[in-house]
A and B are shown apart, each in its own frame.
Chain A
């Protein structure tokens, strides 16, 4: 039970750091960091992909939604109009998918590399 809590705490801290990186650096730094972390600490490619995809999807989706709300939906309305009449919610979804896809893909590649160089270091 304690070990599980520790794992969750580490994961939350990791995601917290990824959020900070997203906030203060360039968007492409996140996939780079994810690649390195996945290489070092993740063993299952599918899990790594899903975890990072979901987190970045939610982060980009939620941040878009919140920032859009600050201007009464003007950004999503603009993007919806630009894309030929997509529903506004789809603009958040697309944003989330882009963020999630890069992170998930980077995580998957990190684990792939780990397998190739046969380094097997568990997440601590």
Chain B
């Protein structure tokens, strides 16, 4: 009996031990192995935060090199050549952001389920069907044949040197939580990181809702509600700049290419309208100092760890400072002693949807130019944590690209033609490497020449005085609404016939205005002979341009205030046309919202109540106006007109049938709709005030800076912040200015920057989110770009020394 009891207990003990160590997974959710995780010597408590000076002997460096960390944990990299500098950059990024890099590459590839379990399966399937890994594989296959690929490889070697020296007990927290380990870094992973950025900036089109809307409305009505050009144009490249091209490329598409039937209700993602950026440079003739001031603040999804990694890289050839996107070499937004550079997203539609007609239900062949054409079948295997067998998904690839959305009828499907799938023909990975070593505007133009996608407005200011913006990337040559709607995929002529040569991309250099600015508005005016379509910005750019136009003797402090400006031109515009009759509406709270709005400066400050009321008003205004579209929306995806169109109709066509509410017997006008919306807003505001008498913009629309895994304990949520998507300080619920940088090109130059996060990816580090408060308050840090290792080392708090190891 004692023996039996002993054996049972032993078996039970071993079982619990194996579960506690993670060898057996009894739970469907990925929970950490409780004993291994709780072990204070190697588990969660072993946080590896206070890293002392480290010595690394590596074959990857040709001479001694060093990384010094300063009191904000910024790595200052000193190397004797570019190759070694990139090796150290890879090491530093892995040292601080390994999990982030790994997670983003897995997310891009659709491989999250392997570490997160079945909860991310749908997400993974979406990425596979979108062909993200296919795109990255194409990129790597092309890169490997390129002459300077060894430089990208140096960065990868640096990452792997860190991984190889990493003991399991020092794995980042997230690996311990998910009970997994880092994988070797590869060029494919770097490519995936870059493709993820492409997806954010030039993926997720609106072809389906536009197609459905066009097919459901009268053509005149569609043209009125969905115009592509504003009356007063304000493109990145000013209207007065001519486009005198001798030859135009591509062919005009037959309008019969557009699908005329409704597309069934399918789930698809459209681009986050808040994603964007500001970049402007004030020329030397407009500043108090007589030197250019360069400003850039990209508005991307905010997260922890931050999307950006700040660093300073010094070699005998250059002294560069700025931010990189961890996982990819070079500095994307930064400066050296000669130039400052940065980007904003172009937003041109480079992703088109084609309706494929299958020959039979097997989905193996489709019709193209009257012939049966075989689809290539790509089998995607998705590994799911806790399951032994991977899930297989067969994705047909057509001449256009992968079948992105399968329909229910098996006769037709939607294929995606995305520029990011194409193998690059140029050394795109060199763009941000070469930028570090540019000494003039012209050199910068040359260094950014190989860039392909996602197309960016590349801004540059040179100490010599040049300022400019070039729209840079590969663009299909389109005309007259090509790619705006879903197209028939049974004719090869419906596809892209040519690409715009780079010399025909819009470009502005030293304009008479003495400043250049881009904020995701149209890059080119109507005069540009090629068709530009996309979800362009309509308000932020105007505020920037008006502010800069009306300012002289500009200082750095002015620019800091401007980057933090929460003024919404949209709010000001809509409030200016509020009918006076709204003054009678007060609601139960007896607050005179009309006069409050009229005296409001349209600044979306966190403590203000007016933005809350205005947002409610605008919500009801849209809802009441677009009741016709709401009916359509129940059947299919449609799009609503942009707010500037709504404003234009209120002021210029108050009797437009759009304002008539279908459900009522009377005929409503714009004024009626405004009144109704104001009443509804006042009512809703009353309820909000009853629930929280201190409700304000900061609590109404708080900001969440979530950890990659969305674990709240690793995130910072419910932050009260200034700004709104239409303001220069473009803040949304989960996005905002992800890096504010100002470079004043005096001698010596001065630079300032801040981002909402911290340098370390380790949640237990004091540098994990130490800059959030400064960012919230509009404060900046001085960016120290001293090229002397002696000066930097005297202030450093930690370092990593590299010595050469002969292989």
Q: Which residues of A contact B36 (CB under 8 A)?
A: 27
Q: Given the complex of chains A and B, what is the CA–CA distance between A98 and B32 in angstroms?
A: 14
B38 and A70 within 8 A (CB): no
Q: Which residues of B contact A22 (CB under 8 A)?
A: 39, 41
Q: Which residues of B contact A98 (CB under 8 A)?
A: 20, 34-35, 38
Q: Given the complex of chains A and B, what is the CA–CA distance between A16 and B763 in angstroms?
A: 32
- Identify A75's interface contact among B17, B20, B45, B50, CB under 8 A: B45
The smallest beta-carbon distance between B167 and chain A, in angstroms, is: 12
Known interface pairs A28-B17, A109-B13. Does A70 touch B50 (Cβ–Cβ under 8 Å)? yes
Known interface pairs A63-B41, A74-B764, A109-B10. Does A116 touch B3 (Cβ–Cβ under 8 Å)? yes
Which of A75, A94, A106, A112 counts the most chain B CB atoms within 10 A? Answer: A75
- Identify A112's interface contact among B9, B41, B46, B765, CB under 8 A: B9
B714 and A70 within 8 A (CB): no
Assess whether B307 is interfacial by the CB under 8 Å rule: no
The smallest beta-carbon distance between B5 and chain A, in angstroms, is: 8
Binary per-residue interface labels of chain A (88-124) against chain B in the complex, 1 for a CB within 8 Å, 0 otherwise: 0000001100110010011001001101100000000
B713 and A112 within 8 A (CB): no
Q: Given the complex of chains A and B, what is the CA–CA distance between A26 and B169 in angstroms?
A: 10
Q: Given the complex of chains A and B, what is the CA–CA distance between A46 and B748 in angstroms?
A: 75
- Identify B45's interface contact among A23, A72, A95, A106, CB under 8 A: A95
Assess whether B570 is interfacial by the CB under 8 Å rule: no
Q: Given the complex of chains A and B, what is the CA–CA distance between A27 and B20 in angstroms?
A: 10
Binary per-residue interface labels of chain B (1-32) against chain A in the complex, 1 for a CB within 8 Å, 0 otherwise: 01101100110010011001100000000000
- Identify B41's interface contact among A23, A68, A71, CB under 8 A: A23
Assess whether A79 is interfacial by the CB under 8 Å rule: yes
A27 and B6 within 8 A (CB): no
Q: Which residues of B contact A81 (CB under 8 A)?
A: 712-713
Within 8 A of A (CB), among B725-784: 763-766
Binary per-residue interface labels of chain B (288-312) against chain A in the complex, 1 for a CB within 8 Å, 0 otherwise: 0000000000000000000000000
Assess whether A1 is interfacial by the CB under 8 Å rule: no
A67 and B713 within 8 A (CB): no
Q: Given the complex of chains A and B, what is the CA–CA distance between A22 and B36 in angstroms?
A: 12
The secondary-structure label for the interface of chain A is helix
Q: Which residues of A contact B49 (CB under 8 A)?
A: 70-71
The smallest beta-carbon distance between A91 and chain B, in angstroms, is: 9
B712 and A27 within 8 A (CB): no
Q: Which residues of B contact A31 (CB under 8 A)?
A: 13, 17
Q: Which residues of A contact B764 (CB under 8 A)?
A: 71, 74-75, 78
Binary per-residue interface labels of chain B (374-400) against chain A in the complex, 1 for a CB within 8 Å, 0 otherwise: 000000000000000000000000000
Binary per-residue interface labels of chain B (702-718) against chain A in the complex, 1 for a CB within 8 Å, 0 otherwise: 00000000011110000
Q: Given the complex of chains A and B, what is the CA–CA distance between A74 and B5 in angstroms?
A: 43
B2 and A115 within 8 A (CB): yes
Known interface pairs A67-B45, A75-B47, A116-B2. Does A99 touch B712 (Cβ–Cβ under 8 Å)? no
Assess whether A42 is interfacial by the CB under 8 Å rule: no
A102 and B763 within 8 A (CB): no
Binary per-residue interface labels of chain A (11-26) against chain B in the complex, 1 for a CB within 8 Å, 0 otherwise: 0000000000011001
Assess whether B42 is interfacial by the CB under 8 Å rule: yes
Q: Given the complex of chains A and B, what is the CA–CA distance between A115 and B20 in angstroms?
A: 27
Residue tally, chain B, CB below 8 Å to A: 34
Q: Given the complex of chains A and B, what is the CA–CA distance between A115 and B40 in angstroms?
A: 33
The smallest beta-carbon distance between B768 and chain A, in angstroms, is: 8
A67 and B40 within 8 A (CB): yes
Q: Which residues of A contact B40 (CB under 8 A)?
A: 59-60, 63-64, 67, 95, 99
In this complex, what residue of B is CB-closest to A81? B713
A28 and B35 within 8 A (CB): yes
The smallest beta-carbon distance between B9 and chain A, in angstroms, is: 6
B42 and A26 within 8 A (CB): yes
B2 and A67 within 8 A (CB): no
B35 and A109 within 8 A (CB): no
Assess whether B329 is interfacial by the CB under 8 Å rule: no
The smallest beta-carbon distance between A30 and chain B, in angstroms, is: 9
The smallest beta-carbon distance between A65 and chain B, in angstroms, is: 9
In this complex, what residue of A is CB-closest to B12? A105
Q: Given the complex of chains A and B, what is the CA–CA distance between A114 and B765 in angstroms?
A: 48
The smallest beta-carbon distance between B116 and chain A, in angstroms, is: 16
Binary per-residue interface labels of chain B (41-78) against chain A in the complex, 1 for a CB within 8 Å, 0 otherwise: 11111110110000000000000000000000000000
Q: Given the complex of chains A and B, what is the CA–CA distance between A59 and B135 in angstroms?
A: 52
Q: Given the complex of chains A and B, what is the CA–CA distance between A105 and B764 in angstroms?
A: 33
A28 and B21 within 8 A (CB): yes
A60 and B47 within 8 A (CB): no
A102 and B42 within 8 A (CB): no
Per CB-CB distance, the 4 closest pairs between chain A and chain B, nearest first, are: A81-B713, A63-B40, A27-B39, A74-B764
21 examples of A-B residue contacts, CB within 8 angstroms? A27-B36, A27-B42, A28-B21, A28-B35, A60-B38, A63-B41, A64-B40, A70-B50, A71-B764, A74-B764, A78-B713, A78-B714, A78-B763, A79-B713, A82-B713, A94-B38, A98-B34, A99-B40, A102-B20, A112-B2, A112-B5
Supply 12 further A-B pairs (C-beta < 8 A) apart from A64-B45, A75-B764.
A26-B21, A28-B20, A60-B40, A63-B40, A72-B766, A74-B763, A81-B712, A109-B9, A112-B5, A112-B6, A112-B9, A116-B3
